[in-house]
Amino acid sequence: MDILYSLLNGILIALEPINLGLAVLGVIVGLFVGAMPGLGSVNGVAILLPFTFVIQSITGGATSPMIFLASIYYGAMYGGAISSITLGIPGASTAVATTFDGRPLALSGKAHIALVTAALASFAGGTISTVLFTGFAPLLASVALSFGNPEVFALMLLAFATFVGLGGDDIPKTIFSICIGLVLATVGFDIISGEPRLIPKIPFSDQPIIGFMHGFRFLVLAIGVYGIGEMLWTINTSRDGTSMSTVDVSAKSIFAAIKDFKNAWRGTLIGSSLGFFVGILPAAGATPGALMSYGVAKLSAKKPDEFGKGAIDGVAAPESANNSASTGAMLPMMTLGIPGSPTTAVLLAGMVIWGLQPGPLLFTNQPEFVWPLIGSFYISNIIAVLVNLAFIPIFLWMLRMPFTILAPVIFVLSLVGTYAAYLDNFDVNLMVLVGVIAFLLRILDYPLAPAVLAIVLGPIAEPKLRQSLLLSDGDFSIFFTRPIAGPITVVALILILLPVLKWIRGLFLTRT
Amino acid sequence: MRKAEIIMAFVLGLFSLGLMWKSGEPPSWNPDIPRFANIGFIEGEGPGSGFWPFWLSLIMLLCCVWIGINWFNRRSPPSRSEEPFLDGYGIRMFVVVGGGLLGFLILIPILGYYGAIPLFLIYYIRFLGKHSWTATLSISIGIPVFSFFFFDIAMRIVLPKGYLEPLFIPLYDIFL
């Protein structure tokens, strides 16, 4: 009862005109920042952090600045899907999985269905996770703490195992794609030993190429694969122009798509629950959450073959998951003081600057901050879905442009987005090179989405593996004997080994 | 396509071997350490720095062998395909669009993004897409103007301007 009373009180504070106005502004800013390739929630939150000091000096508390930043975070999570679906470029790692089915839907003239599903699934994910957050915050924080290095690595292994199922029929190409993503993630300096790794040298010289010293960056691969490679492939294959221009932008079609959302309930439910749980784990976050939800939605679907070709659940699962995980990631940040993602790290920095002390005592010592913030999660979600639905006709209108206009605009956005993310022209050149290689590999049916996701998960997975092995003195049984890690590892290995065994069986059958 | 499949598998296999070799590299400040000493478990330190990339590259190499076996047995669609890897249209498209992108990259250090973007868009929209000059110019001017206000002014992300930098100083004075 206490919780309900506090929550109601919090919602009323969040509905005060200044807080409501900040939430609307934050959502709109976040939506556009998220929709822009190369920029994600972390850019929006980091750039506008100084602005919150002005808000704090006007309102006098930490609640309004936090509501503003949290709304940007939410808006960006909604916005990420827009570039994934309309342009085919995942602006942020959290929206990569949305591209798998969102893009085929857009290519077949059903972009309105994909965008409406993404908006409503995001709303469902955000709301379900906020309810879970409200009711079980302290309890879930303690569960998340019981996830040590072996458990998180086992979870990553499970994420990679679902890739094997995602990559279509060609298993060796999928595994190759995962491994190349993981290996590219190691370029640069090893964070444990400090040794340089896989940094290429300038030909005929002993000097390393400086541009590789900071590592092989995620967006270089993601925008290269989707912004350049996929576009070249589309130009090469759809010679009479793509059917994206046939998309229906009428209000009637959008309302029809809203009604059809009921068909995506399964993906939404999987994404909302799994996304939240993965989101609360330290060092996991929205990307593995979205990916695993996609994998589970596919594995448990009646027609898994439809995934990757425009399945509605394939959009709903990752979109509900990334929103759900973004709320989940706030939980360890607020209750334990551990940020689960770069964005929550910036939010944590903001909280400290505003004079708050994140940690187990935050809920008891600062209820006047916590409850209005949770209240604002509910309000921001409602605002975000309304703003997003209102903007859908504008995003769809973009798709009606002839492909010979849309393609160069996407190329320009890819180059500018990569530069804006890293401020380094070396990365822009490398991104175009990666795009050309991706195009050649795409013709030969190499799935490249697993590589893009592996480069994000690699820097999480590798230290967890090495720290676990250090803990066990090099004994791999640590992944099988612990009560949480054991079952996850076994399921992951079964998922990986099944297609391999199927292939070997097929090989013998061919011989006989 | 069939020939391209095995050539690509071979090239990627060589690349995997190269990565394995490179993973075992000792740090430059301690060349006395033998190559591949870092790919296993080091007492007191845990797995070495080359552990993760070396074994993953080995898996990549095995995958290339696997792709080769599938190619031999004609089990993957590209290994069965009789179509060319890139036909005449594909090669022309690759040269024209890829060339445009290359020109764009070359122009960035000289004219900056705001000089290179309009030229690339005019090349693509007017000369490849055959659209009207009105459409071409409105997009070629609109996109850099939007980018300037979004990135340089709103987000404070300054895009390189090459030799055109002096032209922007009055704009900075007005908007920043």
- Whether the CB-CB separation of A35 and A48 falls below 8 Å is answered with no
Cα four-point dihedral sign A176, A496, A274, A256:
positive
User: Across residues A184-188, what is the average pLDDT?
Assistant: 95
Q: Is A428 on the interface with B (CB under 8 A)?
A: yes
B-chain residues near A445 (CB < 8 A): 76-78
Q: Is B106 on the interface with A (CB under 8 A)?
A: no
Q: Is B51 on the interface with A (CB under 8 A)?
A: yes
Which residue in A has a C-alpha nearest to residue B113's C-alpha? A416
- Residues near A436 by Cβ (< 8 Å), separated by ≥ 6? A228, A229, A232, B98
Distances (CA, A) of A457 to A170, A182, A234, A465, B77: 22, 8, 28, 12, 30
Per-residue pLDDT band at A189 (split at 50, 70, 90)? very high
Q: Is A405 on the interface with B (CB under 8 A)?
A: yes
Distance separating alpha carbons of residues A265 and A210, to the nearest angstrom: 49
Task: Give the pLDDT score at A165.
Answer: 60
| pLDDT tens-digit readout, A280-297 | 876 667 888 888 888 888
Instruction: Say how many CB pairs under 8 Å bridge A and B.
Output: 173
Distance separating alpha carbons of residues A301 and A194, to the nearest angstrom: 44
Mutate to test the interface with A, among B7, B28, B52, B123 (most CBs of A within 10 A): B52
Which phi and psi angles does A170 have, rounded to 5°? -85, 85
Distance separating alpha carbons of residues B127 and A257, to the nearest angstrom: 38
Per-residue pLDDT band at A235 (split at 50, 70, 90)? confident
Facing B85 at nearest CB: one of A169, A408, A443:
A443
B-chain residues near A235 (CB < 8 A): 93, 97
Q: Tokens 């939430």 appear where? A: A23
**Residues of A377-395 as b/e, b for ≥16 C-beta within 10 angstroms?**
bbbbbebbbebbbebbeeb
Distance separating alpha carbons of residues A114 and A104, to the nearest angstrom: 9
Angle between helices A111-145 and A251-259 (to 10 degrees): 40
Mutate to test the interface with B, among A216, A234, A415 (most CBs of B within 10 A): A415
What is the bridge-based pairing of β-strands B46-47 and B41-42? antiparallel
| Chain B nearest CA to A438, separation (Å) | 12
Distance separating alpha carbons of residues A327 and A329, to the nearest angstrom: 5
User: Are B77 and A445 inside 8 Å of each other by CB?
Assistant: yes
User: Are A236 and B86 inside 8 Å of each other by CB?
Assistant: yes
Q: Is B55 on the interface with A (CB under 8 A)?
A: no
| pLDDT tens-digit readout, A378-436 | 888 899 899 888 888 887 777 677 888 888 988 998 899 889 888 999 999 999 999 99
Complex-level ipTM beyond the 0.90 threshold: yes
Of A214, A208, A181, residue with least CA distance to A434: A181
| Chain A nearest CA to B170, separation (Å) | 22
Single-letter code of the amino acid located at A471: L
- How crowded is the C-beta side of A439, counted as CA atoms within 13 Å? 26
User: Are A236 and B143 inside 8 Å of each other by CB?
Assistant: no
Facing B19 at nearest CB: one of A198, A411, A416:
A198
User: Are A190 and B56 inside 8 Å of each other by CB?
Assistant: no
Task: Give the pLDDT score at A97.
Answer: 87
Q: What are the CB-based long-range contacts (under 8 Å, 24+) for A304-310?
A: A304/A165, A307/A100, A307/A101, A307/A166, A308/A100, A308/A101, A308/A104, A308/A166, A308/A168, A309/A101, A309/A104, A310/A101, A310/A104, A310/A105, A310/A107, A310/A108, A310/A110
Task: Give the pLDDT score at B14.
Answer: 97
Per-residue pLDDT band at A38 (split at 50, 70, 90)? low
| pLDDT tens-digit readout, A198-228 | 999 998 888 889 999 999 988 888 889 888 9
- Residues near A337 by Cβ (< 8 Å), separated by ≥ 6? A348, A358, A359
| pLDDT tens-digit readout, B141-152 | 999 999 999 888
CA angle, B77 then B81 then B84, to 5°: 130
Task: Give the pLDDT score at A9.
Answer: 85
User: Are B160 and A425 inside 8 Å of each other by CB?
Assistant: yes
Q: What is the dihedral of CA A64, A54, A38, A209, to 10 degrees?
A: -130
A-chain residues near B129 (CB < 8 A): 402, 404-405, 408
Say yes or no to pLDDT of A360 above 80. no
Of A471, A128, A404, A154, residue with least CA distance to A284: A154
Q: Domain range for residue A363?
A: 2-511
B-chain residues near A432 (CB < 8 A): 101-102, 105
Distance separating alpha carbons of residues A318 and A100, to the nearest angstrom: 10
Mutate to test the interface with A, among B80, B85, B97 (most CBs of A within 10 A): B97
Q: Is B104 on the interface with A (CB under 8 A)?
A: yes
Distance separating alpha carbons of residues A386 and A393, to the nearest angstrom: 13
Give the global pTM.
Answer: 0.82
- Residues near A121 by Cβ (< 8 Å), separated by ≥ 6? A261, A264, A267, A268, A271, A315, A316, A317, A319, A320, A323
Facing A176 at nearest CB: one of B60, B85, B139:
B60
Task: Give the pLDDT score at A284.
Answer: 64
Q: Tokens 């849309």 appear where? A: A406
Task: Give the pLDDT score at A511.
Answer: 66
A-chain residues near B90 (CB < 8 A): 236
Distance separating alpha carbons of residues A297 and A268, to the nearest angstrom: 9
Say yes or no to pLDDT of A243 above 60. no
Say yes or no to pLDDT of A168 above 60. no
Distance separating alpha carbons of residues A316 and A366, to the nearest angstrom: 35
Q: Is A1 on the interface with B (CB under 8 A)?
A: no
Single-letter code of the amino acid located at A274: L
Of A32, A15, A69, residue with least CA distance to A326: A69
Task: Give the pLDDT score at A29.
Answer: 87
- Whether the CB-CB separation of B52 and B18 falls below 8 Å is answered with no
Distance separating alpha carbons of residues A175 and A162, to the nearest angstrom: 11
Which phi and psi angles does A225 have, rounded to 5°? -65, -50
Q: Is B147 on the interface with A (CB under 8 A)?
A: yes
User: Are B108 and A420 inside 8 Å of each other by CB?
Assistant: no
Of B31, B28, B56, residue with least CA distance to A194: B28
Strands (E), A43-201: 188-189, 196-197
Q: Is B90 on the interface with A (CB under 8 A)?
A: yes
Per-residue pLDDT band at B109 (split at 50, 70, 90)? very high
Q: Is A385 on the interface with B (CB under 8 A)?
A: no
Task: Give the pLDDT score at A118.
Answer: 93
Question: What total of structural domains would you count in chain A?
Answer: 1
| pLDDT tens-digit readout, B41-100 | 888 788 999 999 999 999 999 999 999 999 998 888 898 888 899 999 999 999 999 999
Which residue in B has a C-alpha nearest to residue A177's C-alpha? B60
Distance separating alpha carbons of residues A218 and A457, to the nearest angstrom: 10
Q: Is A433 on the interface with B (CB under 8 A)?
A: no
Say yes or no to pLDDT of A1 above 70. no
CA angle, A150 then A179 then B71, to 5°: 140
- Residues near B117 by Cβ (< 8 Å), separated by ≥ 6? A412, A416, B104, B140, B143, B144, B147
Per-residue pLDDT band at A166 (split at 50, 70, 90)? low
Which residue in B has a C-alpha nearest to residue A200's C-alpha? B22
Q: Where are the alpha helices (DSSP H) in chain B?
A: 2-23, 51-72, 77-80, 88-121, 133-147, 165-175
Strands (E), A105-259: 188-189, 196-197
CB atoms inside a 10 Å sphere around CB A172: 25
Q: How many residues does chain B have?
A: 176
| Chain B nearest CA to A253, separation (Å) | 28
Mean model confidence pLDDT for chain A = 84
User: Are A428 and B151 inside 8 Å of each other by CB?
Assistant: no
A61-75, A248-262, B116-130: lowest mean pLDDT where? Answer: A248-262
Of A266, A274, A257, residue with least CA distance to A302: A266
